[in-house]
Structure 1
Amino acid sequence: MGSPPHAKNQNNRLLNFVSAQSTNNDYFDDDYLSLDTGSSHTVIDGDDNIRPPFSWKKLWQFTGPGFLMSISFLDPGNLEGDLQAGAIAGYSLLWLLLWAMVMGLLIQLLSARIGVVTGKHMAEICRDEYPRWASFLLWCMAELALISADIQEVIGSAIAINILSNGVVPLWAGVIITASDCFLFLFLENYGVRKLEAVFAVLIATMALSFAWMFADTKPDAKQLLIGLLVPKLRRKTIQQAVGVVGCVITPHNVFLYSALVQSRKVDPTKKGRVQEALYYYTIESSIAVFVTFMINLCVTTVFAKGFYNTKEANSLGLLNAGQYLQERYGGGLFPILYIWGIGLLAAGQSSTLTGTYAGQFIMGGFLDLRMKKWLRSLITRSCAIVPTIIVAVVYNRSDASLDNLNEWLNVLQGMQIPFALIPLLVLVADEQLMGVFRIGPHYAGIMWIVAALVTAINGYVLVDFFSSEVKGLVFGSLVCSVIVAYAAFILYLISYGNAWFSRFGFKRLV
């Protein structure tokens, strides 16, 4: 890609901003925090090319999207990965949890950058930048990742409802109850984005209180906790749990979601100072949000490390039986730990299914350029996940082994989709024509490509390990090999497409 004149770049960004604002009104109501229009919310004076000094009031106004984004680090799939890592690996993978969170934060900051600078979210940009066939394939991959994540989230909520109802409500009924959050989401949207963010803040606070209570009740070893955080250690028998820790943190649909969430604050991308200000406050807010979610994940991992490491129950722990095992290990106390676990799990499931509904709207609306009423779009995107989830809940009802096997398949499916969110993000955020002066530099880009390579390699290991044990028969094996070749070819295409580093060696955009 060549570097166009500055004026042309500014005009392109202005057109993107105007187009995005007309689109955003489909997703958000009029309760924006208008940071650049001189409204009654906030008036910003001074040079548009200079970022104003730090303000606590301004930080509060930008607070919200980062915490919604951080929900993806707290979904039931993450909690299951945490408890299994603690039970099987003890405290030894805490350092990896910490660095996985850092990698997740860096990726989400790039997602915020591309959303603020262009005034459009990732799905829309991919639709505009890539050929139709490539854009369609990216949409398919994003939908697969979203559906597989949503199945885990909805089943997690259903398990929590089953626990809190003392087994009266079966899994399939819990799935139907959880599915109704689609209508709750639509109801909350009518009251403005800030009210919706407040609801998520309550859910995160509920998780924090529940799992901190469990942490206080079980009293994990503080010395072992610090050693686990500071001393990298990886044993052969804990590789699968290590891969799970990283895979749970990097979620494909969250990359698309956060680039859209940051647009709930109106920032004119043609004004350098306003963009710098927005990116500055989103960096602070996202860092705080990720720190909070890290502490919650830390509590879950250490609780199960203290209670089940080197025990016969360690290898059989999952979401379905974790609460009962906790109850048997620690008893009732002032408030039965089984119900504390159930409350935290319910908050995790409900919050993540709501963000899944949100992400589904942006992904489908952005890639397919849909123009329809909010309730209809939400119903369609929700049904894509709920229908297969109900089938799964009926088929696998209260079967620990079957649910564990299903979770393995779903984790593999999500891991396979990560490159199709991460690679376009890295290519686009380094594109001078798209990002102007806010494109990332070569050093930052190099670090992020290393992160992307690590994440892709880790998930590649999972794929090879999983399929080598599951694939049997010549016909099925040949089919899997063909799919893997096509999968790798599409990844290489995405890497080379418009990548400035590749253009130095003669690679051109493949239109």
Structure 2
Amino acid sequence: MPPRDEEEQRLLGSPLLDSSEGERAYESTEKVHIIGVDESNEGGENDDVYSTKTPPFSWKKLWLFTGPGFLMSIAFLDPGNLEGDLQAGAIAGYSLLWLLLWATAMGLLVQLLSARLGVATGRHLAELCREEYPTWARLLLWVMAELALVGADIQEVIGSAIAIKILSNGFLPLWAGVVITALDCFIFLFLENYGVRKLEALFAVLIATMAISFAWMFGETKPNGVELLLGVLVPKLSSKTIKEAVGVVGCIIMPHNVFLHSALVQSREIDNRKIGRVREAINYYSIESAAALIISFIINLFVTTVFAKSFYGTEQANDIGLVNAGQYLQEKYGGGVLPILYIWAIGLLAAGQSSTITGTYAGQFIMGGFLNLRLKKWLRALITRSCAIIPTLIVALVFDTSEASLDVLNEWLNVLQSIQIPFALIPLLCLVSKEDIMGVFKIGLAVKMISWLVAALIIVINGYLLVDFFSSEVSGITLTSVAFVFTAAYVAFIIYLILRGFTFSCCPTKSMGLTRSRN
């Protein structure tokens, strides 16, 4: 019979890796202390019971685990999502609310798998990809993740800049709003020095600001309650609303957010040597992630229904976007105690500021994980921020007065992010299915099948978006040939990732350096 510690190591998979190896998401001094809270027998011999048994539920512990899921949920509320919400409402009315609900549920499944990976292994997705794939594939995955992050960040920063321009009555141009938004990097660094919980408190305030702003708009516009309920419960789709439906699903899964959540969950100090402790953490993170995404769904529902009530069936429906949405609302509803234009701008600013800070956070983990960089956090944050701010400033200077150009740019950025989705989803699903990495916490057959079906659905939906976009934008022999070569290489890389995942899952002895490092 093998010694107890060797048996636990086999069941746990890779959590027992030497903590000194490679770049880490959080230093031990930065983590929130969990062990011992609300447990009278903690610290004594009886704690051995949690080697296999899950500790009893504790509200105090749930509160201490609460935070990472709400930071993750910001990606479901960024300006790109808000634009998708308002366009879905204006063009499709209440008919796509059911799809918003199910898209959020699919997003929750993906994020729970990401959290599970981070908790069970003690490492985040970018770190594991560094060990799992050969150098050429790892670098290509890193480039894809960075491109997705830059695309998302441009939308988020532009959203903040639009809000700042509205709140300043047009005094501050778009480029000035971009510069102001760039300064949130310093807010992030300042709060991070005072602990993870301070940073999470900031995001709680920003989410509350969004909830209050859009709930206020919901109350001002008074959407039809019966139609809203039918829209959530009764699936309905027509040929006229397919593009909006694709947009609703496509903008829910953000590639950088998959990487981010697997790192955020490591901000809590748990005993990874005990199966019960790991299972406890996964349970608490599942609860708080579900709660966070329920709130994000309600906020997205507010935005969709406000614009469904206000513009569905009107001439403005097909022309509305982030740039002019507030003005259209103001023209329709006028002033009040606080003009609806400014309520919209406050909510948009909270969405933009929160999402740009999480983008900076995600960029740190992606760069550090893939490249195994041990740079100081302020330097990594500065590099990550510059990658997005410089192109965003160029965009703001070029398109400041052109609403139509900004809408076209937004379409291209949506396509850029859609292209990257498989390169976050496929590695995630392959890794959480491997026993040599996840140990007893690898996903079961049923969850695996559902997860791959969801991933396939998301990839197909985004594939439809890409085909529809390029068929209308690409013409001529030269451009068509380039698009064909790009598509062939793109599909080949996806097939490689899938085949490698299944092949190496069946041959664990040939798998990554994680296994070798245990010997």
Superposition TM-score, scaled by structure 1 size: 0.94
Number of the residue aligned with 2:179: 176
Taking the TM superposition and a 5 Å limit, the aligned residue runs for 1:342-361 are: 342-361=345-364
Number of the residue aligned with 2:151: 148
Give SS of 1:166's match.
coil
The equivalent position to 1:241 in structure 2, one of 231, 238, 244, is 244
| Structure-2 separation of matches of 1:196 and 1:16 | 28
Q: Note the alpha carbon deviations across 1:335-372, whole angstroms, 9 max, x for none.
A: 10000000000000000000000000000000001111
| Structure-2 separation of matches of 1:431 and 1:12 | 9
| Structure-2 separation of matches of 1:39 and 1:139 | 41
Number of the residue aligned with 2:272: 269
Number of the residue aligned with 1:228: 231
Which amino acid in 2 is paired with 1:33? V
Which amino acid in 2 is paired with 1:161? I
Number of the residue aligned with 2:471: 468
Which amino acid in 1 is paired with 2:502? N
Alpha-carbon spacing, 1:53–1:318, altered in 2? closer, same or farther (3 Å): same
The equivalent position to 2:98 in structure 1, one of 92, 95, 98, is 95
| Structure-2 separation of matches of 1:147 and 1:410 | 9
| Greater CA drift, 352-361 or 489-498 | 489-498
Number of the residue aligned with 2:114: 111
**Given that residues 17 and 120 in structure 1 are in contact (C-alpha distance below 8 angstroms), is that contact kept between their aligned partners in structure 2?**
no
**Given that residues 145 and 253 in structure 1 are in contact (C-alpha distance below 8 angstroms), is that contact kept between their aligned partners in structure 2?**
yes
| Structure-2 separation of matches of 1:11 and 1:43 | 21
Number of the residue aligned with 2:262: 259
Which amino acid in 2 is paired with 1:444? V
| Structure-1 separation of matches of 2:275 and 2:138 | 30
Alpha-carbon offset, residue 496 of structure 1: 1.1
Give SS of 2:29's match.
coil
Number of the residue aligned with 1:281: 284
**Given that residues 31 and 194 in structure 1 are in contact (C-alpha distance below 8 angstroms), is that contact kept between their aligned partners in structure 2?**
no
Unaligned 5+ runs, structure 2 = 1-5, 514-519
Which amino acid in 1 is paired with 2:356? T
The equivalent position to 1:445 in structure 2, one of 445, 448, 451, is 448
Q: Does 1:9 align with 2:10?
A: yes
The equivalent position to 2:493 in structure 1, one of 490, 500, 503, is 490
Unaligned 5+ runs, structure 1 = none
Alpha-carbon spacing, 1:186–1:325, altered in 2? closer, same or farther (3 Å): same
Number of the residue aligned with 2:404: 401
| Structure-2 separation of matches of 1:487 and 1:89 | 32
Taking the TM superposition and a 5 Å limit, the aligned residue runs for 1:323-472 are: 323-472=326-475
Alpha-carbon offset, residue 433 of structure 1: 0.4
| Percentage identity across paired residues of the two chains | 67
| Structure-2 separation of matches of 1:225 and 1:394 | 40
Number of the residue aligned with 2:516: none
Number of the residue aligned with 1:132: 135
Number of the residue aligned with 1:63: 66
Alpha-carbon offset, residue 396 of structure 1: 0.8
Q: Note the alpha carbon deviations across 1:381-433, whole angstroms, 9 max, x for none.
A: 11011100000111111211101100000001100100000000000000010
**Given that residues 16 and 120 in structure 1 are in contact (C-alpha distance below 8 angstroms), is that contact kept between their aligned partners in structure 2?**
no
Alpha-carbon offset, residue 25 of structure 1: 3.9
| Structure-2 separation of matches of 1:40 and 1:360 | 37
Give SS of 1:392's match.
helix
**Given that residues 68 and 261 in structure 2 are in contact (C-alpha distance below 8 angstroms), is that contact kept between their aligned partners in structure 1?**
yes
Q: Note the alpha carbon deviations across 1:432-483, whole angstroms, 9 max, x for none.
A: 1000000001111000000000000000001111111111111111111001
| Greater CA drift, 17-26 or 367-376 | 17-26
Give SS of 1:229's match.
helix
Number of the residue aligned with 2:31: 32
**Given that residues 26 and 266 in structure 2 are in contact (C-alpha distance below 8 angstroms), is that contact kept between their aligned partners in structure 1?**
no
**Given that residues 104 and 250 in structure 1 are in contact (C-alpha distance below 8 angstroms), is that contact kept between their aligned partners in structure 2?**
yes
Number of the residue aligned with 2:306: 303
**Given that residues 161 and 169 in structure 1 are in contact (C-alpha distance below 8 angstroms), is that contact kept between their aligned partners in structure 2?**
yes
Superposition TM-score, scaled by structure 2 size: 0.93
Alpha-carbon offset, residue 18 of structure 1: 2.1
Give SS of 1:459's match.
helix
**Given that residues 120 and 441 in structure 2 are in contact (C-alpha distance below 8 angstroms), is that contact kept between their aligned partners in structure 1?**
yes
